[in-house]
Structure 1
Amino acid sequence: MMMHHGIGLERFNSLTRSRAVHALFECCCNVTWAAKIADGRPYPSHEALFKAGEAELDALSAVDLERVFDSCVHEPVSAHTLGELTRITQTRLETMLGPEDGYPEY
């Protein structure tokens, strides 16, 4: 279970760097990836964040990718590939942010 759930893009963009890295580390267990994504803030949209995340995943070495799979991927995967990790990471980013239009006010 993720600690950062449904925080929204605006709140994510306003987190301190260390808190943003922590939230992103929950999505992909690689500090380098999380730091680079945190340093790219503010993101204007979910899609911009997803694209940045994918680009930084693509920049990880094969060793780093394998470490991510070994340390934090608990879902069944067809193979330890960049495509699978991108899918898992984007799903976790979506969970962290919540709906793009935000949650309804109650």
Structure 2
Amino acid sequence: MAVKDVTDSDFKEAVLNADKPVIVDFWAPWCQPCKRIAPVLEQFSEDRDDVEFVKINVDDNPTTTLNYSITSIPTVARFEGGEITQQAVGALPKAQLSQQLGL
């Protein structure tokens, strides 16, 4: 399964109303650290079918970015039941990302 793009308009349905945990990558195309962790998240998405993986471009989707007070990217957050339960900030190594996101 690939990491899907979400937007302000479908964030609620895709993430908050999901029936399983969702890992959300808050990123931007100009962000080099974001580009470094993208393949790691793709790999996680291939290995895990009990968790959804999505990404949201912070430049194009300011409402969601502001709603969750995202001030640094990459920020990767685990949502369960419509709430952030775990979060990782920065281009962390795969093992550390896994640990901080409960993967």
TM-score (norm 2): 0.28
Q: Which has the higher helix share?
A: 1
Q: Which has the higher strand share?
A: 2
TM-score (norm 1): 0.28
